[in-house]
Structure 1
Amino acid sequence: MKKLKKKSQAGKPKPKVEPESKRGKKLGDKSTKVVKVKNTPAKSVGVKLNKTPLLEVSPDTPSVSGILSKKGKAKKRKISNETDEVSPKSVVVKGKKPDKKKSARSFSLLNDSLDLASTSTLRNMPSSTPAKLDLDSSDDDDDVMESVNSYKAEMESSRIHSAKRKRQTKRVDSAKKRALDAEGSEVMGKNALQRLLDPINVDTFMKDYWEKRVLHVPASDPTKFSNLLSTEMMDKALRNEILCFGRDLDVTTYTDGEKQNHNVEGSRAQAHVVWDFYANGCSIRLLHPHTHSKQLMIVMSALQEYFGCLVGANSYLTPPSSQGFAPHYDDIEAFILQLEGRKRWRVYKPRSKHEVLPRFSSPNFSEADLSDPPVFDAILSPGDLLYFPRGYIHQAHTVHNEHSLHVTISAYQKTSWLDLMDKLVPSALKTAAANDVDFRRGLPIGYLRQAGVFTKHVPTERKALIHTAKQLVAKLVNYIDIDSAVDELGVQFMHDALPPVLTPAEAACSVIGNGWRMESNGKLKNKIEFPPTTRVRLTRANCYRLVQEDVVGPEGGSTTQVSLYYTVDNSSLYHGEEPNFLVVDADLLLTLRALVNAYPQFTTISDLPYDTEDKMYGLICDLWDHGLLVTETPSQPIDNQASIVIPDASRGSKTGPKGDNGGNALNGSLVEGSLPSTDDEEDVDYEEDVDDEEDLDEEEDDVDDEEDDVDDEDDEEGVLHTVENLDDDLRELLCDDGSDIDEEEMEALNNLDIEDLLDSSLEDAEEEEDEEEEEEED
């Protein structure tokens, strides 16, 4: 009996493939059933004072308890001030954190951590404090004041960056604990497009501008797109990554009506060499810039969910007073996002009806080819957006003394009705030939003399030939299979598409951020299982395609097979990986179709229909293992002290090409294969819809208040737990017959009030932190 299995298919997916291409690891037959998890409360373990004291006592501590009184602490501070030394704290006790002042926060499109996960500004934050101010470096008063002002600015910038990092960490931690919204990824993609077009409504744009005319959206904020890419980020990519001429970037010029390419073919694009070209007036086109900008990757991945087709991008850096490319039109819908500098754009309507919405890009035009005046002629500034349909001729030139950097986001290449008909008609002909004898009848005798461009023919015979052909074309409509044709386009999209980028909340509910983890001591932790009450759904609307296709059997016969193609393991480079798919057994279709039809709603596992219960649970595990399934809330580990477990033999050996379940790790496209680290903000990326800055601030305040409440509760519980443990340890110590404590010490311990000591320590710690914060503000 067939079971769910996976395989990568080279080249373009076709309805028929050789039997060798369908061999792969068998999946979906896991014998391990999903069981209900019993919640076992953790046992409290008392802390032994003679082994691991909770309170760290300094050598100078005069008290047996290790807690300084306020008077003693004041005296120590005074001594520290006189000796100009910092005295170590005598006690380390967890107490309530003092309230921190919230720094001001700005909101701009794609530039807020609760929006589309932009963290480029966080990446470029100074990680260390500004250099110490040296007032003796200059004797001039103006220089001194300039140094002072510069130092103040650096200090203020460092303070703001630090506050942003803390606020970002809080949001990520909060996002990991929340349940996922029952909102489809198509809505997420539409919201992403809305942010780009704002204040133009998406529905208005699709009705009045899409594939019809040019749209210019002036910037409401010049930093609107600044986090997507910058010249500094380009320099960093050139120095830290292996970029090659021709493959990753192009160097071009356009002078005197002639475009020239200056690539050093086959060579690495060293930063010095590229910038030397730029200094000599060359334009730099960076291909697939989203591989160097996580923020741009997030935006494109979201737009892909809305458009349902490949979304690509190129970036263009042009020196002042120059032009890099000749006038031309493209075969894509173009969104120009101006990032830096200014550039004059001239856009022209298609010259004839044959160039309206073309399937292929044009050759380069000369100025003589542009007889009509442009329909758009204006200068784009940072934050501006310009849209024009495919077939619109365009050219751009930088202004005097200003460079320009922009990103072109493209969509709907080869996604027209003609592309659908290209799949539909051959399929209809194949079906008609199998079911209608009229399509198999022979052509009339002498048909070669009845038609032809240069053939002399008899009009009556030619007319009869045309009449019969039209009749057959009319009958062909009855054999159109629109479902199979759309599935073919869907399978092609699965190969073309970018991998989905999960938010931290989604990653925490998926195999990317949950499940087994290896500790430094070689032990595994975080074992999870799915109780029948677990609520699940497929990861994204457009990250999979379930199709039925014909394959060639082992003995040459044709058989029908159900395959699940998916994009989760795709490369961020176009066709960087072979197509990935799973072969679905017939008795799994009932469960899988229920998941497909339920999206974006979550479904309880026990409510899913199935033919065989064991196989249904195996399917859930397979989808989870491949990143195609998320839970509504993060699954809680059932045994964090587990040792290494040898997998059951029924799970099968994990072998196969890169990208399948053959023991290979995922390719890092999903937030780099792990939850964003709260210690390293470079990995923090997620997106949520927020209407405006006021709502965003209110949500932030609510999150901060909730976290403060949680911290307070944890602190109170921690103090009570500490008191109980200390009391237990003291009792054990007093009852120890082998103890060396004399009678006086025993009496002192009996009279010791641990709760009062801890309260005093907490108050001292809070006062000291408050004083330190006041000193920092001064």
Structure 2
Amino acid sequence: MPKKVRPTGDEKEEESVPCKQMKEDLPDIFSVLNFDSPSTFFESLISPIKVETFFKEFWEQKPLLIQRDDPSLAACYRSLFSLSDLKKLCSQGLYYGRDVNVCRCISGKKKVLNKDGRAQYLQLRKDFDQKRATIQFHQPQRFKVFILQLEGKKHWRLYSPTVPLAQEYSVEPEERIGTPTHDFLLKPGDLLYFPRGTIHQADTPSGLAHSIHLTISTYQNNSWGDCLLDSISGLVFDIAKEDVAFRTGMPRRMLMNVETPDDVTRKLSGFLRTLADQLEGRKELLSSDMKKDFIMHRLPPFYVGNGTDTMDPGEKLPMLDNMIRLQFKDHIVLTVGPDQNQSDEAQQKMVYIYHSLKNVRQTHMMGQEAGAEIYGLRFPLSHVDALKQIWCGSPIRVKDLKLNTDEEKQNLALSLWTESLIQVL
């Protein structure tokens, strides 16, 4: 029987399951953005630029400014956040450091003006109006759909990256970061993209009392280096079971050496070459943390996870003759890894399914101390082919799943249905 995972620290994208209530709750101005699925939302977000053009010419290559004189889009952006929303958020309980930062740029350096404890609306307005301070929200998608920053800035300059920024939101003096490579003036409805690592500075043009900009940060911890760190341990796990050389002991007292001896470096280099050779042609790599981390820090589907809504799998149980189909594919990952409940050397592989359907928006990206958990199921490796059938996205009859017995087929479907991961058609 499958067991639930205990909380711990190039397929076609599936359309999200429509939700009538979600669409009814959206204001009319949001009609300019398409929330049917992540892909349709992104298409509407960068319109009129085509997705293929964006990824071919701009993604991680160069900045892109999309200027749009669309009144409805400008009204949509303006509705995302306003100064009047600040008072409502304060009444919900915002705390300095955890939820909000108040800061200023003085002589090219960031100065934090945070008080202790709970943030009071009158104090925030005083800092904002009198000290011309910037108010930065931490993970504001906990309160609204988008990542927002309320700042007294609107004019963007991009600089050649001659020196890295010491920390997020810090601003270096212009003489230290070189000559601006781009200079943009944004208006409501405009969208500015720049690749990761781009040094940037925002200024308010003269005559403006304040401005609000929305920042969407994407693709963090998704570099090739992250992938190697994540998959190399699984690759070693697989190869060490077959190659006895990986299981031989290291030289005695090697860990006591201050420097690594040349013969040890050569030995490790040989092992790395063996790993590289074995990597060619592999269709699956054991993922240790990247997939779990991605799902743990992913928001639930737009209309759930607010603390009151729950996913309802429906009243119809999946029986052998029923057709089923995967749903919420963008919120689920499937991976193979060692059995986390075994401590002996003969660990067996298991299939793990992690999902974000039960993630809570109010604690999103707030760390383990905020109660972040990983939700999902685990199955024997013998279930992997049946799960791949379901993961293709096409409807399939329960009795056609590639498992040995009808009991296994129905138990698999029932387990997925209980977590609201499949629909019974």
TM-score calculated relative to the size of structure 1: 0.45
CA distance in 2, matches of 1:431, 1:614: 31
Q: How does 1:284-323 map to 2 (within 5 A)?
A: 284-294=135-145, 296=146, 313=147, 315-319=148-152
1:559 deviates by 3.0
* Structure with max Cα Rg: 1
Equivalences, count: 394
Partner residue of 1:620 out of 403, 413, 425: 413
Query: Where does structure 1 lack aligned partners over 5 or more consecutive residues?
Result: 12-112, 124-163, 169-184, 297-312, 324-342, 454-460, 504-509, 516-526, 633-778
Judge conservation of contact 1:316–1:406 (CA < 8 Å) in 2. Answer: yes
- Match for 2:330: what amino acid? N
- Match for 1:494: what amino acid? I
CA distance in 2, matches of 1:318, 1:361: 15
CA distance in 1, matches of 2:384, 2:103: 53
Change (3 A) 1:627 1:228: farther
Change (3 A) 1:10 1:487: closer
Q: How does 1:531-610 map to 2 (within 5 A)?
A: 534-551=322-339, 556=344, 558-560=346-348, 561-572=350-361, 573-574=364-365, 575=367, 576-585=371-380, 588-596=383-391, 598-599=392-393, 601-610=394-403
1:345 counterpart = 2:134: no
Q: How does 1:274-423 map to 2 (within 5 A)?
A: 274-280=124-130, 281-294=132-145, 296=146, 313=147, 315-319=148-152, 343-351=154-162, 364-371=171-178, 373-402=179-208, 403-423=210-230
CA distance in 1, matches of 2:160, 2:39: 27
CA distance in 2, matches of 1:444, 1:620: 52
Whichever structure has more strand as a proportion of its residues is 2
1:407 deviates by 0.8
- Match for 1:190: what amino acid? S
1:216 counterpart = 2:65: yes
Judge conservation of contact 1:350–1:393 (CA < 8 Å) in 2. Answer: yes
- Structure 1 runs of 4+ aligned residues shifted over 6 Å read none
- SS where residue 37 of structure 2 aligns? helix
Partner residue of 1:6 out of 4, 15, 35: 4
Judge conservation of contact 1:544–1:566 (CA < 8 Å) in 2. Answer: yes
Change (3 A) 1:359 1:394: closer
1:546 deviates by 2.6
- SS where residue 59 of structure 2 aligns? coil
1:247 counterpart = 2:121: no
Deviations 1:440-491 (A, max 9, x none): 3765999x99x969xxxxxxx96x7766554443223134467334464222
CA distance in 1, matches of 2:357, 2:166: 29
CA distance in 2, matches of 1:513, 1:552: 29
Change (3 A) 1:629 1:360: farther
Deviations 1:729-755 (A, max 9, x none): xxxxxxxxxxxxxxxxxxxxxxxxxxx
Which residue does the alignment assign to 1:492?
Answer: 293
Deviations 1:323-366 (A, max 9, x none): 5xxxxxxxxxxxxxxxxxxx2110112227xx6xx998696422
Judge conservation of contact 1:587–1:611 (CA < 8 Å) in 2. Answer: no
CA distance in 1, matches of 2:79, 2:387: 37
Query: Where does structure 2 lack aligned partners over 5 or more consecutive residues?
Result: 10-18
- SS where residue 347 of structure 1 aligns? strand
1:384 deviates by 0.6
Change (3 A) 1:228 1:539: farther
Could you say which structure has the greater relative contact order, defined with CA pairs below 8 angstroms and 6 or more residues apart? Answer: 1
Q: Tell me the percent identity.
A: 24
CA distance in 2, matches of 1:555, 1:246: 40
CA distance in 1, matches of 2:80, 2:177: 33
CA distance in 2, matches of 1:587, 1:444: 41
CA distance in 2, matches of 1:430, 1:532: 37
CA distance in 2, matches of 1:441, 1:350: 46
Change (3 A) 1:445 1:615: closer
1:483 counterpart = 2:284: yes
1:415 deviates by 0.4
Change (3 A) 1:275 1:283: same
Judge conservation of contact 1:487–1:545 (CA < 8 Å) in 2. Answer: no
CA distance in 2, matches of 1:499, 1:394: 31
TM-score calculated relative to the size of structure 2: 0.78
CA distance in 1, matches of 2:310, 2:400: 22
1:532 deviates by 5.4
Judge conservation of contact 1:511–1:625 (CA < 8 Å) in 2. Answer: no
Q: CA RMSD in A?
A: 3.9
Which residue does the alignment assign to 1:77?
Answer: none
- SS where residue 347 of structure 2 aligns? strand
Partner residue of 1:205 out of 54, 73, 76: 54
Deviations 1:147-181 (A, max 9, x none): xxxxxxxxxxxxxxxxx9xxx9xxxxxxxxxxxxx
Which residue does the alignment assign to 2:423?
Answer: 630
